């Protein structure tokens, strides 16, 4: 796909997170973008609408016009399950996958890939925000809406491009990065990766493609990541963590008045990243995002920003200013005095991290969790881990599983998830299958001594939207 020869782009499955961030980027750079998806409402609907992108709800071969220069399809849709893809193939309309299309953009820029099992949305948006505020004029594609962006990304004038890079279905294979921020590696996406070995190999292959002039920024507190970074990294490796082995080390972490504070020191061999006259003790940083996982995200941003030439004082200021993304511990409003928080966590480790952050922020209140399991394959494969992830909750409400177009449904139920959570020791757990029934239950039982956490990658946030109306 030669972008210089393309004007009109049509995207099948446009409401997916990756597809939306690409659509927004292309539209902001002057391409005529339209697309289609199911009539189901997603968190990405408002991003697409704000960018002025026409979206057909429902698929029809009549949407596939011959004046379109290229069609980009989500990997979830093919000729056997989507009449638009079938029509494109029949009419010989140029057709490529999302991963292939992203590579055409990414590989023509100084590509900065933010990847890993957890934290890539927050980290990519955070880095992009700091770079933008520091005057680097980056392009940014983040996997969620960012209030401070006014959308999911930034369209800058430089050749710098920060992308949330997804490992699912090995979409990383299409990208040739100049810099990689790799947060962590933990088994996920069992519908595509049969084991941890295959899952890890994707990241090994990715960092192995870094040129010798490239930079890998890696979390050395993650044992799996530390091992592969040492063994397979070809370019410069900059590590971060809370252990002495890390180049960028956080210490003296404290939570006060709704903010986290921590000190950062760097090893002598990283002195080139620090502006002249500064010591190797970078001093104290503050962030408005809760939880230990956001300390790690912040460290990655600090290391990358300094490596890219952001000066220390503006970095400290802009790091503190960042307010987070939507669906990451996002306060939706309140109902009967109870704060309603929405979070995208859909892996056991993410749920544990979110609950840890909730305890940090709302320690004196009862934490009620509404959990919407996401995809049957993930839920079944990680059932035991899900059962053990709610220890810090005061109550857990489990919905029916939110499936996806990419998998065969069935094999496990929300009730089984609830039973596993009870078996793991969280006795105050109940199975309520539908959004409507959970909404009614919360209307009857919510009070000012509680905080209600809506967690999952599906549409559990709709409960909060209806409660706060």
Instruction: Check which CATH number belongs to the domain holding 219 and give it.
Output: 3.40.1190.10
Q: Give CA–CA dist 181/225, Å, rounded.
A: 11
Residue 218, φ and ψ in degrees, nearest 5 = -130, 140
Q: Give CA–CA dist 267/246, Å, rounded.
A: 8
Percentage of the chain beyond pLDDT 90 is: 84
Q: What is the pLDDT of residues 333-354, one digit of tens each?
A: 999 999 999 999 999 999 999 9
What pLDDT, on a 0 to 100 scale, did the predictor assign at position 278? 44
CATH for 417: 3.90.190.20
Q: Select from 113, 99, 115, 118 the least CA-distant residue to 187.
A: 118
Pick 168 or 278 by higher pLDDT.
Answer: 168
Q: Give CA–CA dist 345/368, Å, rounded.
A: 15
Quick one: 297 and 337 in the same domain?
no
Residue 10, φ and ψ in degrees, nearest 5 = -120, 135
Cβ–Cβ under 8 Å, residues 64 and 82: no
Spatial neighbors of 349 by CB under 8 A, at least 6 apart, are: 117, 118, 186, 385, 389
Quick one: 23 and 129 in the same domain?
no
270 pLDDT higher than 60? no
Quick one: 351 and 312 in the same domain?
no
Q: What is the pLDDT of residues 6-20, one digit of tens each?
A: 899 999 999 988 899
Cα 347-371-167 angle, rounded to 5 deg:
25
Measured in whole angstroms, the distance separating CA 115 from the mean position of its chain's CA atoms is 9
Quick one: 231 and 306 in the same domain?
yes
Secondary structure of residue 378 in the 3-state scheme: helix
Quick one: 125 and 252 in the same domain?
yes
Domain final residue, candidates 101, 132, 161: 101
Cβ–Cβ under 8 Å, residues 411 and 376: yes
- Residue 407 confidence class, pLDDT cut points 50, 70, 90: low
Rounded to the nearest 5 percent, the helix, strand and coil shares of the chain are: 35, 25, 40
Quick one: 307 and 190 in the same domain?
yes
- The chain-wide mean pLDDT, for the chain, equals 93
Secondary structure of residue 31 in the 3-state scheme: coil
274 pLDDT higher than 60? no
Question: Counting beta carbons within 10 angstroms of the beta carbon of residue 455, is it exposed (0 to 12), middle (13 to 18) or buried (19 or more)?
Answer: buried
Sheet holding 8-12, edge to edge: 54-57, 32-37, 8-12, 70-73, 95-97
Quick one: 69 and 145 in the same domain?
no
Quick one: 61 and 113 in the same domain?
no
Q: What is the pLDDT of residues 124-158, one digit of tens each?
A: 999 999 999 999 999 999 988 899 998 889 999 99
Domain final residue, candidates 101, 117, 151: 101
Helix (H) or strand (E) holding 197: helix 196-208
Full domain range(s) for residue 249: 109-321
Q: Give CA–CA dist 343/429, Å, rounded.
A: 19
The pTM assigned to this predicted structure is 0.90
Q: What is the pLDDT of residues 37-60, one digit of tens each?
A: 998 888 788 889 988 999 999 999
Quick one: 391 and 436 in the same domain?
yes
Q: Give CA–CA dist 293/431, Å, rounded.
A: 29
Secondary structure of residue 410 in the 3-state scheme: coil
- Residue 458 confidence class, pLDDT cut points 50, 70, 90: confident
95 pLDDT higher than 50? yes
CATH for 28: 3.40.50.720
| Structural Rg of the chain based on CA atoms | 22
Quick one: 399 and 276 in the same domain?
no
- Bridge-based pairing state of the strands 338-343 and 330-335: antiparallel
Domain final residue, candidates 101, 131, 163: 101
- Residue 160 confidence class, pLDDT cut points 50, 70, 90: very high
Quick one: 382 and 405 in the same domain?
yes
- Residue 405 confidence class, pLDDT cut points 50, 70, 90: low
- Written as one string, the DSSP assignment of 338-357 is EEEEEE---SHHHHHHHHHH
How far is CA 321 from each of CA 50, 257, 259, 287, 292, rounded to the nearest angstrom? 24, 15, 11, 7, 18
Could you give the number of structural domains in the chain?
3
- Residue 276 confidence class, pLDDT cut points 50, 70, 90: very low
Tokens 């609907």 locate to: 45
Quick one: 383 and 367 in the same domain?
yes
Supply the DSSP symbol for 374.
Answer: B
């Amino acid at each position: 796909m030669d972008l210089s020869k393309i004007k009109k782009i049509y995207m099948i499955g446009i409401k997916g997170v990756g597809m939306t961030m690409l659509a927004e980027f292309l539209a902001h750079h002057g391409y005529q973008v339209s697309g289609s998806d199911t009539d189901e409402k997603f968190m990405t609907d408002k991003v697409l609408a704000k960018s002025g992108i026409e979206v057909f709800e429902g698929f029809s071969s009549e949407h596939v016009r011959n004046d379109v220069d290229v069609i980009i399809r989500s990997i979830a849709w093919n000729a056997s399950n989507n009449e638009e893809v079938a029509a494109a193939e029949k009419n010989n309309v140029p057709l490529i996958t999302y991963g292939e299309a992203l590579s055409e953009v990414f590989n023509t820029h100084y590509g900065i890939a933010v990847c890993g099992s957890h934290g890539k949305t927050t980290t990519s948006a955070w880095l992009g925000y700091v770079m933008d505020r520091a005057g680097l004029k980056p392009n940014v594609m983040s996997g969620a809406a960012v209030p401070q962006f006014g959308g999911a990304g930034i369209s800058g004038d430089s050749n710098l491009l920060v992308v949330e890079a997804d490992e699912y279905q090995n979409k990383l294979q299409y990208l040739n990065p100049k810099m990689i921020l790799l947060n962590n590696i933990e088994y996920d996406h069992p519908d595509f990766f049969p084991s941890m070995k295959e899952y890890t190999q994707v990241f090994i292959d990715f960092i192995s493609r870094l040129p010798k002039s490239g930079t890998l920024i890696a979390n050395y507190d993650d044992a799996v990541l530390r091992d592969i970074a040492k063994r397979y990294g070809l370019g410069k490796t900059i590590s971060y963590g809370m252990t002495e082995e890390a180049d960028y080390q956080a210490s003296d972490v404290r939570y006060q008045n709704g903010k986290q504070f921590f000190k950062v020191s760097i090893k002598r061999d990283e002195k080139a990243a620090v502006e002249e006259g500064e010591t190797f003790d970078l001093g104290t940083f503050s962030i408005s995002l809760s939880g230990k996982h956001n300390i790690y995200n912040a460290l990655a941003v600090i290391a990358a920003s300094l490596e890219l030439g952001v000066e220390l004082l503006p970095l400290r200021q802009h790091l503190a200013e960042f307010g987070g993304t939507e669906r990451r511990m996002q306060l939706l409003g309140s109902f009967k005095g109870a704060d309603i928080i929405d979070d995208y966590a859909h892996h056991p480790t993410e749920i544990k991290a979110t609950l840890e952050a909730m305890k940090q922020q709302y320690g004196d209140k009862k934490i009620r969790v509404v959990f919407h399991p996401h995809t049957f394959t993930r839920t079944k494969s990680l059932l035991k881990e899900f059962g053990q992830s709610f220890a810090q909750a005061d109550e857990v409400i489990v919905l029916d599983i939110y499936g996806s177009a990419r998998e065969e449904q069935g094999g496990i139920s929300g009730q089984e998830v609830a039973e596993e959570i009870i078996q793991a020791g969280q006795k105050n757990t109940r199975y309520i299958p539908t959004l409507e029934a959970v909404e009614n239950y919360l209307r009857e039982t919510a009070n000012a001594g509680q905080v209600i956490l809506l967690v999952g990658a599906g549409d559990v946030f709709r409960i909060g939207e209806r409660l706060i109306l």
